[in-house]
Amino acid sequence: MAMAQLHRPDEPPAAGTDAASRAGFAYERLAPFTRFTDVLETSVFAPVPDDWWIGHCDVIDSTGAIAAGRYREVNMAGAAAIAAVRNALHGRALAFVFGGDGASLVLPPSDRATVEAALAATVTFVREELGLTLRAALVPVRAVRAAGHDLRVARYAASEAVAYAMFEGGGLAFADARTKAGAYAVHAAPAGTRPDLTGLSCRFEPVPAATGLIVSVLAVPLTGAERTAVRDALADVLGLIEAMPRMGRPLPAAGPPLGWPPSGWQIEARLRGPLLGSRALRWLQVLIRAGLSLAIFRSRLTLGRFSPGRYLREVVANTDFRKFDDGLRMTVACDAPTADAVEARLRAARASGVLRYGVHRQNAAIVTCITPSAVAADHVHFVDGAGGGYALAARQLKADGA
């Protein structure tokens, strides 16, 4: 749902959209904000130009896959789309958001063909290696505004090295609906095509909830809701979570746990594909590397420029445990009384015609990583609930209606 409808289809586009394009709008030049609650302020957002595109993808029947215990594969499918596009763009700054069972990203017209090829290859990879169906689309931003919505983006600095994109205006929700309807579809690449997934991994074990619960929350404005009321309700929810130890971070300060063999080793082997034509050799390689990694992290041995302790601290700092994409999305650690208070505030906002929401509680979180370089500090990490997380919260949200 849109946080604000900035113009109707019969009105001119929002000020600055075409002008921004002509002026060479660049996501990476947006000044990042550092206090997460500022995401509720319209001043931090800038309009995305009309000639840009939204890449969107999601796993069909992700709830069924999660019910079958395949939550890691579901998360990996969404993260794979981000990794594939990042690598295809050679690491250039990219505005993206991880949705648990999918992803959204925003791109300039000059990158459209490259991103389409990367998404098409990812659709094929997900089908052939993960056994899931990933649908993907490229939706023109111009269509978003023609439908009466908007797309505005901001950059939130989760740490000194990593900034994540935040979105408002209803554009991503529109893209999601059009993708599910089969519009603007990106079709699968030929069988056997593989995207470049360098850096994508899932070696960390599920992270137990130190405070009792890991809670995944989705909260989006209802159509016509007054902006101040929306802001106040979301600020209340954030305030409840930020009062928790470490502001609700789901990962411990020492970083997520490692084990051997890692629970996601078979998925990682499928990411890499056969080694010298042999899957067995790839499995062996992944297990050996995981064992070496475990030994290095447990010994805290510094190897050249790589420091295990520093890397784990960066993992915690860089994690995307809270974000905003047409509404609040977060996976946080809290106790049962705080979770009850959050749900009570959301119910009150729903009864007042302000928000609709979905909440899912579980006892652990999972982490999916994109680490192109272990010695650079800009690796990114996506957190979801280990018991269904965002996908099951989204099911409740959908059942709540519009």
Q: In the chain, what is the greatest distance between 2 CA atoms, to the nearest angstrom?
A: 64
The pLDDT of residue 272: 86
pLDDT for the residue numbered 402: 55
The residue type of 379 is H
Low-confidence residues of the chain, pLDDT below 70? Answer: 1-23, 402
The string over 122-143, giving b where at least 16 C-beta atoms fall within 10 Å of a residue's C-beta and e elsewhere, is bbbbbeebbebbbbbbbbbbbb
pLDDT value of position 2: 34
* Torsion sign, CA atoms 108, 109, 112, 113: negative
Query: In this predicted model, what pLDDT tens digit does every residue of 80-137 receive, in sequence order?
Result: 999 999 999 998 899 999 999 999 999 999 999 999 999 999 999 999 999 999 999 9
Tokens coding 370: 């994109």
What is the Cα gyration radius of the chain?
20
Please check whether residue 186 is in contact with residue 53, taking contact to mean a CB–CB distance below 8 angstroms: no
The upper half-sphere exposure of residue 336, i.e. CA atoms within 13 Å in the direction of its Cβ, equals 2
pLDDT of residue 37: 96
Would you state the structure tokens that stand for residue 333, as one six-digit string? 């650690």
- On the 0-12 / 13-18 / 19+ scale of CB atoms within 10 A, 181 is exposed
Confidence at residue 264, expressed as pLDDT on a 0 to 100 scale:
86
User: Per-residue pLDDT tens for 309-350?
Assistant: 999 999 999 999 999 999 999 999 999 999 999 999 999 999
- Per residue, the 3-state secondary structure of the chain, as one string, reads CCCCCCCCCCCCCCCCHHHHHHCCCCHHHCCCECCHHHHHCHHHCEECCCCCEEEEEEECCHHHHHHCCCHHHHHHHHHHHHHHHHHHCCCCCCEEEECCCEEEEEECHHHHHHHHHHHHHHHHHHHHHHCCCEEEEEEEHHHHHHCCCECEEEEEECCCCCEEEEEECEHHHHHHHHHHCCCCEECCCCCCCCCCCCCEECCECCEECCCCEEEEEEEEECCCCCHHHHHHHHHHHHHHHHCCHHHHCCCCCCCCCECCCCCCHHHHHHHHCCECCEHHHHHHHHHHHHHHHHHHHHHCCCECCECHHHHHHHHHHHECCEEEECCEEEEEEECHHHHHHHHHHHHHHHHCCCEEEEEEEECEEEEEEECCCCCCCCCEEEEEECCCHHHHHHHHHHHCCC
